[in-house]
Every structure is written in C-alpha cells, then in structure tokens.
A = this chain, B = another copy of it.
Amino acid sequence: MNNLLVVGTVALDDIETPFGKVDSVLGGAGAYAALAASYFADPALVSIIGRDMPKKELARLSKRKISLDGLEYGEKSFHWSGYYEFDMNAAKTRKTELNVLAEFNPKLSPQQKKSRFLLLANCDPSVQLQVIKQMDGKPFIAVDTMNYWIETKKEELLKVIRKANLVVMNEGEARLLFGTPNLIKAGRELLALGPKYAIIKKGEHGALLFSEHNYFSAAGYPLESLKDPTGAGDSFLGGLMGYLVKQLDSQTAKQSVSEEQMRKAVVYGSVIASFCAEEFGTGYIDSIKISDIHERYGAIQKICQF
C-alpha cells in the first residue's frame, strides 16, 4: 500500500560536469523525489514518459518498490541536456525537449486521490494546481518549484503555494520571487502566503526551515567528493517527505507535523541529497544502505554541536 503520492517529471538527462559525462540517464524531479522518499515511505509516482525510456533506467525506480501504475506513456520522453562549470553551483541548460511533458495532464485514480501525503515536485504550476484539485480530504502537501515558473507563471505558482503545507525552494528562487536578497525576509514572506512551513535550500550550505515562531538552520553534510548536483534538491524534498510519512502514517488519527519532526526531516533530506550529489544522475540514490543514511544523520548531529 503506497503512502506517499509523488507527482513530477521523469526525464532522460544528459549531464556533463568537471568530473565526467553521462547521456540519456534517468532524471526528472519526480524520479529523484520518489527514489529519495523510498528509503522511508512507499511512494507512488505519477508522471509521463516516452517509449524511448530504457528499461534499465526505469528499473532503477521499480527496484526501489516505487509504484509506477501512475505512469502515462507517450512517444518521446522529456529530455534535458545540461552542464556544470567549475563551481558546480548552477546547472546550465544546453537543450530542453519537452516531448511528452507538453501533454502531461495527470488524472488521479480513486486510491491516489485519497493519499494523505502529496509531494508536488518541480513542475508546471498549472499541473500542480490540477493535481491538488483532484485530491480528496486535506492531504499534507509539499511543493517545490524553479525560477522558470517564477518568471513565467508567477500567479499560478502563488496559488499553489497558498494551498501547500510546506513550500520548498532554493535561495536564488526565493530571492527572485520576493525581490529581496535577504533570505530571512524571503522565508517570512513564503509563510505569509499560507504554508505552515517554508524551506529555503542552500545547496552545500544546508537549508533554512521557517515556521510561525521558529527558525531552524540545518548544516549541509560535508562532501569532499561532489560529482553531480543534478537532482539533489529534489532528493532533499523526497527524503524529507519520506521521513515525515514514516513518522505520521502509522497514526490512525490525522496528526499535524510537529516542528521537531520537521527539523529531523530536514536533516534526513540533506543526508539523502548528499548521497545524490556524490554520483552522476540517480547512480547512487537507487542503492544507498539505510545504515549509511543513519550514519550521516549522526555525523550531522556531531558537526553542529557546541
């Protein structure tokens, strides 16, 4: 029985970094988020792919027991080609072919509509809104996005954020959305839109969690070998939501997410993101040992103590 609904892209990625190059490997925000969540929860993935998606790549998802019943099929997969320069801070896009993504129009099954946890990975906010409208009851909704949507569909994106319980974006996106260089102000502005929690991801510098009366600063895991940051942000949110689902799903009564649970979830998200960035594409996060995850969590506890 799946306990987390993940909606987002599944792509073929061509990635080049100073440490190497891979072509046509599994990518997409939905794929990364579902893989990351699978260490704690049983995700079902809703997405659209093409018949050109190699079985070997798709098997990365199914071997993690992610339900693929919600995959639609079209002709050619969404395909992204990008590269990173020396500092690896921001991906530069060489080419984006939307292909099947242009027709992505998810229709949820009755069971999917009942999911208590919904992870809307980075995707067109119109699609995100359409998914939210189909949900029964009041699921816990987490939303991620990217600058492209802030620049081209800001109003739709704000509508999505207003319906979310948790909104996540990176520092550049938060600054862009609110026209302020100050992340503390941006975090407060995100909360003012309605979500109970807002997170600003800062890559290697960790993440900031904002809630009504509190503020949490999570350190990033100190990675000496970072090969490819693609998908790290998506893995962060996937790991975080997976952890929350694991804490709350066993409760029969609906329970709200506590600040303490959310802080721990942020750290677990950072841990999974750190594994993601250590290898190209999804090359590592389809096969992390659970003991390694807990070990890094413990390491982050130690590096923050004073």
Q: Interface on chain A toward B: helix, strand, loop, or mixed SS?
A: mixed
**Per-residue 0/1 for A34-62: is the Cβ within 8 Å of any B Cβ (1 yes, 0 no)?**
00000000000000000000000000000
| Residues in B neighbouring A304, C-beta threshold 8 A | 216-217, 219, 304
Min CB gap A86→B, angstroms: 6
Give the residue of B224, B263, B303 whose beta carbon is less than 8 angstroms from that of A182.
B224
**Per-residue 0/1 for A287-306: is the Cβ within 8 Å of any B Cβ (1 yes, 0 no)?**
00000000000000101111
Report the interface size class on chain A: 35 or more
Q: How far is the CA of A69 from the CA of B267 in the complex (A)?
A: 50
| Residues in B neighbouring A140, C-beta threshold 8 A | none
Q: Which residue of B lies closest to A297 (CB)?
A: B306
Contact A217 B226 (CB under 8 A): no
Contact B217 A184 (CB under 8 A): no
**Per-residue 0/1 for A175-217: is the Cβ within 8 Å of any B Cβ (1 yes, 0 no)?**
1000001111100100000000000001011101000001111
Query: 22 pairs across A/B with beta carbons < 8 Å?
Result: A86-B181, A87-B175, A182-B223, A182-B224, A182-B226, A183-B204, A184-B222, A184-B224, A188-B224, A205-B205, A205-B206, A206-B217, A208-B222, A214-B303, A215-B303, A216-B305, A216-B306, A217-B219, A219-B219, A264-B306, A266-B306, A267-B306
